Amino acid sequence: MSAASPNSLFGMGNPLLDISAVVDKDFLDKYTLKPNDQILAEDKHKALFEELVKKFKVEYHAGGATQNSIKIAQWMIQDPHNVGTFFGCIGKDKFGEILKQKAKEAHINAQYYEQEEEPTGTCAACITGDNRSLVANLAAANCYKKDKHLDLEENWELVEKAKVYYIAGFFLTVSLESILKVAKHASENNKLFCLNLSAPFICQFFKDNLMQVMPYVDVLFGNETEAAAFAKEQDFETKDIKEIAKKAQALPKVNTKRQRIVVLTQGKDDTVMALSDKIETFPVLKIDPKDIVDTNGAGDAFVGGFLSELVQEKALDQCVKAAHYAANVIIRRAGCTFPDKPDFN
């Protein structure tokens, strides 16, 4: 049994059903997609989802960045079940039922807000080589309401039980007030609040929301492209990843009992971690490029591995080790899926 107790890890975000397929460059060009990106679907992408299913061999996987990370953390921990709690909004439909079933199979306590106005959200994962271009149609995920779900007594009790909180930056487009309520609770009770930059567009177009939450962030995650976009928007005047980590670490913080930790990944290059007094780098696990099946979910898996150790109060270098292990497992498989048991200690 792990040192983690049920409901000690809390996540809130966009529960999406991933529709993934290996596509060709023509398909990316037709919908003006970059090979490696995450965007929200616009009108011009409506036909993309239908064409993807018609033209290519698709696989359906339960997704959504935060939910993926909570599942991976739970998989790394194994016992007890329901260490991870997840909140998000789905529709009352077939895809919603699949998400509920998959959450149950992953042994996480998913408490969805279910509504009938919008269908369950989907995310097209368009894979070319070891790149993946994600197009999210949030639909129901965009309908999460603080007053209709988070504020309910039985739900807020689950929030209060947690010690570590994780929200992907993607949720900043949905319910800033929900994020702030959870972030302030963590800060006031000296618990750990973790956030992911998630995508360049979050750093660019949701900068104000992001910076309202930043003072409450104890652990900030991001990859090299997100870090570059964040640095540019914040006028850090540097492209050096270590400098960016250092400057993000030094941004104002409400709970001064804890120093912020910034963790930036760079694909196959070293992971960079900034603490108050130093910068550390950690090499990732080597992998033969031909063993890489799908990099979709690698970042989510990294965070999941990290959180699995953080919630058990392990040392930070052990958190990074677990993060690298989880990401290395996930990129060998299609979607954010994993074998029965981890082989990590």
Catalytic residues: 300
CA pair distance 191, 270, nearest whole angstrom: 28
Long-range contacts of 314-317 (CB under 8 A, 24+ apart): 316/261, 316/273, 316/275, 317/280, 317/282
Q: Whole-angstrom Cα distance, residue 113 to residue 300?
A: 22
Long-range CB pairs of 336-342 (<8 Å, 24+ gap) are 336/18, 336/61, 336/62, 336/63, 336/68, 336/71, 336/72, 336/296, 336/297, 336/300, 336/301, 337/61, 337/297, 338/72, 338/75, 338/301, 341/78, 342/75, 342/76, 342/78
